A and B are shown apart, each in its own frame.
Chain A
Amino acid sequence: MKTLPGVDVVIVGGGWTGLLMAKELGTRTKHSVVVLERGGPRDNAYYAATMDELDYLVRNRMMQDCSQETVTFRHSDGKTALPLRQLGSFLPGTGVGGAGEHWGAGSPRHSPDCFELYSKTVEKYGVKRLPEDHCIQDWGITYDELEPYYTRAEKMIGVAGKAGNIRGKKVDGGNVFEGWRSEEYPLPPTKIPYYATLFREAVTSLGYHPFPYPSATLTEFYKNPDGVGRPACTYCGYCHAGCMIGAKAQPTNVLMPVIEKQKGVSIRTGARVRRIVHEGNKSARGVTYLDTTGEEIFQPAELVFLGSWTFSNTRLLLLSGIGQAYDASTGKGTLGRNLTHELTLPAARVFLDKPLNRFMGTGSAAISIDDLSGDHIDHSNLPFLRGGLLRANCQGYQPILNFGPVPPSVKARWGSEWKKAAVHFYDRSAPIVFIGEHFAYKGNYMDLDPTYKDDRGDPLLRLTLDWRENERKMTEFMIPKAVEIARAMGAKEFTPFPGLKHYDATRYQGTQVHGGTILGISPETSVVNPYLQHWQVSNLFVLGGSVFPQKPVAGPTLTILAQTIRTADAVIDRYLKKPGALA
C-alpha cells in the first residue's frame, strides 16, 4: 500500500454534500482538502450529448455500476437476502456531482414538526398511538434553528417558488401549510404546463390549497451569493439526464465553478474508498482507497468527512468497524438502524380527452397539495398517523419510460388493441402521485451481508426493509382522494394504485433512502450529534440523508444542503479553532 503525504481534510464522495463542504472549506480556510470520488469527472460540457432517453434514463449511464457493487435485500429478519442485480427502486449516482446531477430539483423545506416527530406526535395523540415496533425520534435540531441555513441553501442553488408563510404571515398562492420563512423565494415559480393546471383547477374546486412546487431550476437568469451565474430553464424535459445549460442546480454548475478556483482543494476521481483508518474508535487517521489502476492508497488526514450517500456512508463505517453495529434482535447498537425510504406511488393514473403536450416541462414543474401532509388533518379517528402530498408533475415525459399505460377497460398489454389505446392515450394520460412519510421501525435496518461481496471482496450492504400497517393504511386513505381529484379533472377512466403490499425493490420510487448513521441527542440512540459529528470519533463527520432518523414528506436535498452548511459553520468557526466534541 502506498502512503501519500497527509492533508488536512479528506472528503469521501463528490456529490452535493462532499463538494459543498469542499467549497466552504476551500473558500473560508487555508486548509488542504482532497475529495475522493469513485466515479469519473463530469462538467457542464458533458451534458451536450445526454439528450438520449435510452442510454441515460433507461440504461442508467449516470448511476452506480451494479456489476461492481450493489446491495442485498430482504423483507425481514430470518430470511435470506438476495442481491439487487440491477437498479430498481432507487438510483444511487456516481461520478462528480453524484445523484445531484440527475435529481428532479424539487426543493421543499421539511415542515417544522418533522424535526420533533416523536415529541409532537406523543404530545397530541399519546405514546400508545405510535406503531408497536416504531423507532422514530426527534432530530435534536429544530426547524427554527435550521431556518437561516435553509435560506442560505435556497439562495445558493436558486430555488424558484412562492412563499406561503413569511414570518408567520400566510400568503395566498404559496403553501399555506409550510413552516415560517424569513423571506420570499429567490426566484418566481416555474411555468405551469397544462396537466398541472388541470390538477390545480380540480383541487381548488375540492377545497384544497394548491401551490407551485419549489424547484431548483431557474426561472430567470440568477447569480448566487458565490457569484455563480446560471441561465433560465428552457423546459426541454431532459432534467434527469443532467441539465446541459446549467439551469437546474447541480453540483457541477453550482459548486464546481467555485471549487475550481480554490488552490487548496483537489478532486480525485476513480478513487474507491475502502476503509476509514482509525485508532480504537477514538480518532480517524485518514482513508484507504483504490485508484483507477487498482493500487491501494492510504491518504492520511486530520479531519474526515463522509458524503457518499446513505449506503456508502453506512457501509464504510460498518466495514471500518467504527461504532457499534445495530442488532435488531436486542435493539443494541446504533450503526445501520432506522432505514427508511420515501413512500412514492401513482395514487391514480388519469386518462383524459385532450392532449397534454407533456414532453414539455422541467423536473419539478408541479402543482401540489399539502393539505393531507404531516398532521394537517386530525388523525384521532384515522387508522394511521401523518400523511403526504399529492402532486401533478410535468417533468417532461420521455416515450420509452412512459409509453404503454392504457385505461382499465383495455385488458391487452401487447398487440393491436393495446397499441391503439396506448398510442391514443400516450399524450392523454399521467399520474397523480402520492409522496408520503415513512416511519422508522426496529425491523428496518442495514448491516453487512454474510454471503454476497463486491468486486473487491468486501461484503455488500444488506437492507432489511418492509412496509408496515401505517404506510398501508395511509395509502388506502390517499387513493380515494386521488380518484376524487381524477374525476374532478374530467377523467372518464382512471387506474387507482392497487394498494401497498410488500416493499418492491424493482419499482422505482425515488432516490431518497435514509438512515444508518442517524443524528440525535444521545450516543445511545444515534451515530452522530446534531452537528453531524460522530459521537465517538470526533474528527469524523457524516453528511447527507443517512443522518435522517426517519423520512419526512418530500424531497430531502434542500434539508441535506442546509444541514451541511450548518456543519461547515460549526467546523470552521468552532472545531478548527479548538478540535473536539461540538455537542
Chain B
Amino acid sequence: MQRRHFLTLSATTMGGVLIYSLDRKLSRLSAQDKTVRIPLHFFDETEALIVAAAVARIFPSDETGPGAQEAGVVMYIDRQLAGPYGRDSDRYLQGPFESGIPEVGYQGKATRRDIYREGVKKLGAFNRLAAAEQDSALKEIESSEFFGLLRQHTIEGMFSDPMHGGNIDMVGWQLIGFPGPQMTYVDDVDKHFGEAFRPKPVSLVGGHPTEDEK
C-alpha cells in the first residue's frame, strides 16, 4: 500500500482563503493557520512541489494579478491525473504505436500519468532553483509533450469550475472577468457595448467569491 502523501503549504502563499477538499467541502483558511496539509492523490510531495513551482512560472502571480499558486493549479492537476483522464481512458490505446506526422496528433503509448512522472523526474530539484533558472529549465523542454500538458493543464486549472479543484474562489474567472455559469443574459446580451459588463461570478459549487477582509 502506497504511503499517503500531503502537500504542505503556507496558508499565505495560497492566498489565505479557501481550499476545496475532495468531497467538495470548503475549508476556510486564514493567515493565522501557518500551514495547510493537502492530501495528494497522484503526486508525492516532492513531485507536487516541483509541479507547483513549474505552473507558477507558466502562470505567475505578479502585478497583473493572482496566478497558478493562488488558484491551486497543482491540486487540480493532481486530481485530474488521479482519475480516468490520467490513465488515458479516453484515448485509443491499441497498437502498433508508430511515430507519425504532427497532423495525426500524439501517438505515444505513455499515458498522461507516465508523461508527468517522467517529466517531473527530469526537472530534478526544480523547486529549489531561482526563478530565472526555473525559466531556462522550462525553456529547454518547451517543445516536449510534458510541457504541452503542463501549459494546457495550467490554463484548465486557472479557469475550470472550482468543483474540479483549481480556480480556488474563482480567482481565475475574476482575473479575466468571466462570470461562470449564469442562467440568463437576455437583458444584457445586446447592451453594454464597449464597456466591461462584469456580473458577480458564480460556480457550480455554489456561492460567489469571498469578499476581501470582512
Interface residues of A (CB under 8 A from B): 49, 51-54, 58-60, 65-67, 69-70, 73, 75, 80, 82-86, 88, 191-194, 197, 232-238, 354-355, 357, 359-361, 365, 399-400, 403-404, 413-416, 419-420, 423, 426-427, 451-453, 455, 502-506
B62 interfacial by beta-carbon distance below 8 Å: yes
Beyond A505-B103, A506-B104, whether A67 also contacts B57 by CB under 8 A is no
Contact between chains at A415 and B161 (CB < 8 Å) = no
B130 interfacial by beta-carbon distance below 8 Å: no
A197–B191 Cα gap in the complex (Å)?
11
A75–B67 Cα gap in the complex (Å)?
41
Contact between chains at A235 and B184 (CB < 8 Å) = yes
List 6 tightest A-B contacts by C-beta distance, closest first: A51-B181, A234-B184, A399-B159, A54-B160, A360-B185, A235-B189
Q: Which residue of B lies closest to A451 (CB)?
A: B96
> In the assembled complex, which residues on chain A have CB atoms less than 8 Å from the CB atom of B179?
359
A233–B189 Cα gap in the complex (Å)?
11
Beyond A191-B190, A360-B189, whether A503 also contacts B91 by CB under 8 A is no
A94 to B: closest C-beta gap in Å: 12
Q: Which residue of B lies closest to A79 (CB)?
A: B101
Contact between chains at A419 and B64 (CB < 8 Å) = yes
Contact between chains at A235 and B62 (CB < 8 Å) = no
Contact between chains at B185 and A235 (CB < 8 Å) = yes
Contact between chains at A237 and B185 (CB < 8 Å) = yes
Contact between chains at B178 and A86 (CB < 8 Å) = no
Q: Which residue of B lies closest to A73 (CB)?
A: B104
What are some 18 contacts across the A-B interface (CB < 8 A)? A52-B204, A59-B90, A66-B91, A75-B103, A85-B92, A85-B106, A86-B92, A88-B105, A194-B193, A197-B193, A235-B185, A236-B181, A354-B195, A365-B189, A414-B151, A419-B60, A423-B176, A426-B178
> In the assembled complex, which residues on chain A have CB atoms less than 8 Å from the CB atom of B116?
none
Contact between chains at B64 and A357 (CB < 8 Å) = no
Q: Which of B56-107 contact A (CB under 8 A)?
A: 57-60, 62, 64-65, 67, 85, 89-94, 96, 98, 100-107
Q: Which residue of B lies closest to A66 (CB)?
A: B92
B50 interfacial by beta-carbon distance below 8 Å: no
A576 to B: closest C-beta gap in Å: 41
Contact between chains at A84 and B183 (CB < 8 Å) = no
**Size bracket, chain B contacts:** 35 or more
Contact between chains at A65 and B196 (CB < 8 Å) = no
Beyond A53-B160, A235-B189, whether A399 also contacts B178 by CB under 8 A is yes
A51 to B: closest C-beta gap in Å: 3
Pick the residue among B59, B62, B65, B105 that contacts A85 (CB under 8 A): B105
Beyond A85-B91, A419-B60, whether A403 also contacts B155 by CB under 8 A is yes
Pick the residue among A235, A414, A416, A506 that contacts B102 (CB under 8 A): A506
Beyond A75-B103, A84-B105, A403-B155, whether A414 also contacts B94 by CB under 8 A is no
B188 interfacial by beta-carbon distance below 8 Å: yes
B182 interfacial by beta-carbon distance below 8 Å: yes
Contact between chains at B92 and A70 (CB < 8 Å) = yes
If over half of A's interface residues share one DSSP class (helix, strand or loop), that class is named, otherwise mixed; here it is loop
Contact between chains at B177 and A427 (CB < 8 Å) = yes
The winner among A54, A233, A413, A452 for most chain B CB atoms within 10 A is: A54
> In the assembled complex, which residues on chain A have CB atoms less than 8 Å from the CB atom of B185?
234-237, 359-360
A423–B204 Cα gap in the complex (Å)?
23
> In the assembled complex, which residues on chain A have CB atoms less than 8 Å from the CB atom of B59?
414, 419
A451–B189 Cα gap in the complex (Å)?
51
B15 interfacial by beta-carbon distance below 8 Å: no
> In the assembled complex, which residues on chain A have CB atoms less than 8 Å from the CB atom of B181?
51-52, 236, 238
B207 interfacial by beta-carbon distance below 8 Å: no
Contact between chains at A193 and B190 (CB < 8 Å) = yes
Beyond A53-B160, A197-B193, whether A505 also contacts B105 by CB under 8 A is yes
B55 to A: closest C-beta gap in Å: 10
Contact between chains at A416 and B64 (CB < 8 Å) = yes
A452–B181 Cα gap in the complex (Å)?
41
Beyond A360-B185, A400-B156, A400-B159, whether A85 also contacts B107 by CB under 8 A is yes
Contact between chains at A65 and B155 (CB < 8 Å) = no
Pick the residue among A400, A420, A455 that contacts B160 (CB under 8 A): A400
Contact between chains at B186 and A54 (CB < 8 Å) = no
Q: Which residue of A lies closest to B108 (CB)?
A: A85
Pick the residue among A85, A192, A359, A413 that contacts B93 (CB under 8 A): A85
Contact between chains at A67 and B178 (CB < 8 Å) = no
Contact between chains at A236 and B183 (CB < 8 Å) = yes
B97 to A: closest C-beta gap in Å: 9
Contact between chains at A234 and B106 (CB < 8 Å) = no
Contact between chains at B189 and A423 (CB < 8 Å) = no
Contact between chains at B184 and A86 (CB < 8 Å) = no
B158 interfacial by beta-carbon distance below 8 Å: yes
A54–B161 Cα gap in the complex (Å)?
8
Contact between chains at B104 and A414 (CB < 8 Å) = no
Contact between chains at B172 and A399 (CB < 8 Å) = yes
> In the assembled complex, which residues on chain B have CB atoms less than 8 Å from the CB atom of A191?
186, 189-190
Q: Which residue of A lies closest to B202 (CB)?
A: A51
Contact between chains at B90 and A65 (CB < 8 Å) = yes
Contact between chains at A357 and B192 (CB < 8 Å) = yes
Contact between chains at A503 and B94 (CB < 8 Å) = no
A361–B182 Cα gap in the complex (Å)?
12
